[in-house]
Amino acid sequence: MQIIIVGCGKVGRTLAEMLQEEESDLTLIDISQEKMDVIADKIDALMIEGNGASINTLMEAGIENADLLIAVTGSDELNLLCCLISQKTGRCHTIARVRNPIYSNEINFIKERLGVTMIINPELAAANEISRLHRLPSAMKIDTFARGRVELLKFKVLPEYKLDGMHISEITSHFKLDVLICGIEGPDGVIIPGGTDVVHDGDFLSIMASPETAAAFFRRIGLHTGQVHSTIIIGGGTTSYYLAKALLLMNIKVKIIDKDRARCEVLSDLLPHATIINGDGTDRNLLFEEGLENVGSVVALTNMDEENIFLSLYAKKHSKAKLVTKVNRLEFDDIVDNLDIGSVIYPKYITADYILQYVRAMQNSIGSNVETLYHILDGKAEALEFKIRDSSSPVLNTPLAQLNLRSNLLVGCLNRDGKVRIPRGQDTLQVGDTVIIVTTHRGLRDISDILA
């Protein structure tokens, strides 16, 4: 595929790093040669200094033969203009990053009238992920499939769960629930487990099940399954606005703390049912005055990663709240993930996953589409949802136990006619099914790619 990325900021760089593994020819455009020089040694792409909304720049980048243009500059309007000009100049698909809430109610118009194929809003996507975590606060991460019928949940194994030393097969037989353990992250690394692998205290487990079954499993092992009743959001940016709207609809009491008085006044008008506090979220006295010790969750969404991390560490020490920490910089993600500060949200990764999902679907739109894609297990594996359309696919009508599947790959869940279940060895795949695959192999585009 010929892909043009306009904007070499954090999102553009993350996208380029992922897409260069997708057998794509990349061209990057940015007005800053300095930004491109920083990533030139790490990314195999043609670098063009210029304005991505300029016809001459786009022609130089090969827009006439491009399959996809992705505009992820810091300006919503520039991103939309890049896509509009690309539509008029070439015949490629276009994706625009659009962050301003003003445009959130105009997405259909933008797609239909301006011809933009896909709109990505990183702040809204991050807010949606955080709101899901408030429904089941014991989970550190929740990814959804099959339009919410299936969830992939990550949690930490603690001694009180009494799972230490148990084989995967023992856990499955003991709880007698339709749950699949599809990932273990421990001191020795990350694995997609088989029945003989052993769980230890301190491991991070990823399980796949329907929301109801996952909640039942958590109750059986002693995890809290009730949703959060109240939250303190520190930082009043766009993500906080989207998150507050979602949490208020869940009947969760919301407090937002922000230093900027003018921003607080805006939020007060936009969110009349939330409590908006003009103050310093790092002021310990203020946090205690606003109920830190008894609040259900603390969400650190300031623009400074260090501040968010310290806030979560402080809240962990002085409360039992569900912790959510936003981190923008990706360079030290392995260190941040080891700090045990609850759920860490990387908006750049969320955005990249959505776009990568679309790219995979474009590459194979006949046999089976990639409907959903997430990077999981600390980025070392993928969970993909395929919709099977091709009646001649070699994976059909053969029991799963008889298929020559790749190693380090699980057929995680089967959705047939709206009914979801964990498949067993004698189950077969049929046309019309959606199936969820968990694997350490990168680049699966078609369901037939699960075969060795």
Per-residue pLDDT of 196-214, as tens digits, reads 999 999 999 999 998 889 9
Q: Evaluate if residue 186 carries a pLDDT over 50.
A: yes
- Mean pLDDT for 347-370 is 74
pLDDT in tens, 369-413: 778 888 888 778 889 899 888 888 899 989 999 999 998 899 988
Q: Which CATH architecture has domain 366-450?
A: 2-Layer Sandwich (3.30)
Q: Supply the pLDDT for residue 298.
A: 97
Q: Supply the pLDDT for residue 445.
A: 82
Whole-number Å distance between alpha carbons of 82 and 244: 31
- Mean pLDDT for 215-225 is 86
Amino acid in the structure at residue 323: L
Lowest-confidence region among 31-45, 212-226, 357-371: 357-371
Task: Tell me the pairing of strands 25-30 and 46-49.
Answer: parallel
- The size of the chain, in residues, is 452
Planar angle of CA 383, 385, 389, nearest 5 degrees: 150
Which CATH number fits the domain 2-120, given the four candidates 3.40.50.720, 3.30.390.30, 3.40.50.300, 3.90.1750.10? 3.40.50.720
Q: Supply the pLDDT for residue 149.
A: 87
Whole-number Å distance between alpha carbons of 373 and 386: 9
Q: What is the largest CA-CA distance in the chain?
A: 66
Q: Supply the pLDDT for residue 439.
A: 92
More confident residue, 226 or 410: 410
Q: Supply the pLDDT for residue 189.
A: 84
Cβ atoms < 10 Å from Cβ of 68 = 22
- Mean pLDDT for 294-317 is 94
When mean pLDDT is compared over 81-95, 145-159, 249-263, the highest value belongs to 249-263
**Class level of CATH domain 126-221:** alpha beta
Q: Please report, rounded to a whole number, the percentage of residues in the chain having pLDDT higher than 90.
A: 50
Model confidence at 330, pLDDT cuts 50, 70, 90, reads low
Lowest-confidence region among 37-41, 50-54, 73-77: 37-41
Whole-number Å distance between alpha carbons of 48 and 41: 15
- Mean pLDDT for 152-177 is 90
The CATH classification number of 230-345 equals 3.40.50.720
Lowest-confidence region among 39-43, 106-110, 233-237, 252-256: 106-110
Amino acid in the structure at residue 247: L
Model confidence at 323, pLDDT cuts 50, 70, 90, reads very high
Q: Supply the pLDDT for residue 363.
A: 66
Order of all β-strands in the sheet with 189-191: 141-145, 150-156, 204-209, 180-186, 189-191
Q: Please, are residues 94 and 71 in contact by the beta-carbon 8 Å criterion?
A: yes
Amino acid in the structure at residue 95: I
Whole-number Å distance between alpha carbons of 236 and 244: 10
Q: Supply the pLDDT for residue 356.
A: 82
Q: Is 317 exposed, middle or buried (0-12, 13-18, 19+ CB in 10 A)?
A: exposed
Rounded to two decimals, the pTM is 0.84
Tokens of 306: 């260090």
- Mean pLDDT for 215-234 is 89
Q: Is 347 exposed, middle or buried (0-12, 13-18, 19+ CB in 10 A)?
A: buried
**What is the SS3 assignment for the chain?**
CEEEEECCCHHHHHHHHHHCCCCCEEEEEECCHHHHHHHCCCCCCEEEECCCCCHHHHHHHCHHHCCEEEECCCCHHHHHHHHHHHHHHCCCEEEEECCCHHHHHHHHHHHHHHCCCEEECHHHHHHHHHHHHHHCCCCCEEEEEHHHCEEEEEEECCHHHCCCCCEHHHHHHHHCCCCEEEEEEECCEEECCCCCCECCCCCEEEEEECHHHHHHHHHHHCCCCCCCCEEEEECCCHHHHHHHHHHHHCCCEEEEEECCHHHHHHHHHHCCCCEEEECCCCCHHHHHHCCCCCCCEEEECCCCHHHHHHHHHHHHHHCCCEEEEECCCCCCHHHHHCCCCCEEECHHHHHHHHHHHHHHHHHCCCCEEEEEEEEECCCCEEEEEEEECCCCCCCECCCHHHCCECCCEEEEEEEECCEEECCCCCCCECCCCEEEEEECCCCCCCHHHHEC
Mean pLDDT for all residues in the chain: 89
Domains 126-221 and 230-345 belong to one CATH topology: no
Q: Supply the pLDDT for residue 364.
A: 56
Q: Supply the pLDDT for residue 366.
A: 47
DSSP bridge pairs for 273? none
Whole-number Å distance between alpha carbons of 20 and 37: 17
Q: Please, are residues 74 and 30 in contact by the beta-carbon 8 Å criterion?
A: no
Domains of the chain, residue spans: 2-120, 126-221, 230-345, 366-450
Q: Supply the pLDDT for residue 368.
A: 55
Instruction: Quote the distance between the C-alpha of residue 224 and its chain's center.
Output: 23
Q: Please report, rounded to a whole number, the percentage of residues in the chain having pLDDT higher than 70.
A: 98
